Amino acid sequence: AQSVAQPEDQVNVAEGNPLTVKCTYSVSGNPYLFWYVQYPNRGLQFLLKYITGDNLVKGSYGFEAEFNKSQTSFHLKKPSALVSDSALYFCAVRDMGSGEYGNKLVFGAGTILRVKS
Amino acid sequence: DTGVSQNPRHKITKRGQNVTFRCDPISEHNRLYWYRQTLGQGPEFLTYFQNEAQLEKSRLLSDRFSAERPKGSFSTLEIQRTEQGDSAMYLCASGRSNEQFFGPGTRLTVL
């Protein structure tokens, strides 16, 4: 079964510093990986995805993620953090068991990002 | 705003009552998903529609839960005889290929 792990419950970073939110995955076959962000009392917003191609994926709001097949990781990064980046971040993988057309997602438990000014 | 809307945003009910939630997806999206999110956890898949056909249901979806998507447009999720363990955020998402766009969710509290 497909799964993702987010090893850190919370990440603290100072505004202007680079940030990394970690994600590792376990899949059979080629992974389809996603990052979403959730602000309080709101739904999830799509940040970026990796399907195939370049290992460095660029997404919304200046975020990027690096796919590393040998380490089975897909860490989210941003060169310079903003206070407004403070939110809950979820890594997800497509569950290939849902068939060619399913696309259901399996989410990690989430990582709270706190950016302090 | 992703373009996916859900109503109501909040629902408080007493144990044993039935509740129904509605999701209006982005109009050109043929796929619609329901997820449940409890505090401190990531969303968990409940069920999936392609157009009006319900193609997959999670084991989490007990027989008290039913979902429909008449005419492949909006969808409803009904929970019968609610239990306190049903308290959660219920999220709807729609999509066409690999991306899913989530609505704001309906927060259910069962007293």
- What pLDDT shows up at residue B98? 79
Predicted pLDDT at A95: 83
Q: What residue has token string 């040998």?
A: A70
* Single-letter residue type at A33: L
- Unique residue bearing structure tokens 């993702």: A4
**What is the DSSP secondary structure assignment for residue B25, as one 8-state letter?**
-
**Does A7 have pLDDT greater than 60?**
yes
- CB distance A104–B33 less than 8 Å? yes
Cα A90 → chain centroid: 5
Contacts of A44 in chain B (CB under 8 A): 43, 91, 93, 102
Give the model's pLDDT for residue A89. 98
Pair B25, B92: CB distance under 8 Å: yes
Beta carbons of A45 and B42 less than 8 Å apart:
no
Which pLDDT score, from 0 to 100, does residue B94 have? 94
Residue B97: per-residue pLDDT: 76
Structure tokens at B67: 């979902």
CA distances from B61 to B7, B36, B53, B79 (A): 20, 10, 16, 10
In the predicted structure, residue A1 carries a pLDDT above the cut 60: yes
pLDDT digits over B57-110, tens only? Answer: 898 888 999 999 998 899 999 999 999 999 999 999 999 877 899 999 999 999
> For B56, which of A32, A34, A98 is closest by C-beta distance?
A98
Which residue is it, tokens 């990027």?
A: A64
State residue A4's pLDDT score.
Answer: 95
Q: Phi and psi of B73, rounded to 5°?
A: -110, -110
CB contact, 8 Å: A107 with chain B?
Answer: yes
Residue type at position B45: F
Q: Does B101 touch chain A (CB under 8 A)?
A: yes
Which of A115, A117, A109, A116 lies closest to A36, judged by CA?
Answer: A109
Residues A29, A11: Cα–Cα separation, whole Å: 30
Can you give the pLDDT at residue A99? 57
- Cis ω on the peptide bond leading into residue B25 (within 30° of 0)? no
> At B62, phi and psi to the nearest 5?
-70, 175
From A15's Cα to the closest Cα of chain B, the distance in A is: 25
Q: Are B100 and A46 inside 8 Å of each other by CB?
A: yes
Question: pLDDT tens across B17-66, in order?
Answer: 999 999 999 998 999 999 999 988 999 999 999 999 998 889 888 899 99
Quick one: pLDDT band at residue B2, thresholds 50, 70, 90?
confident
Q: Tell me the per-residue pLDDT of A63-104, one tens digit each, with 9 for 90 and over.
A: 999 999 999 999 999 999 999 999 999 999 998 665 555 678
For A15-54, write each residue's pLDDT tens digit: 999 999 999 999 888 899 999 999 987 789 999 999 988 9
pLDDT of amino acid A101 = 57
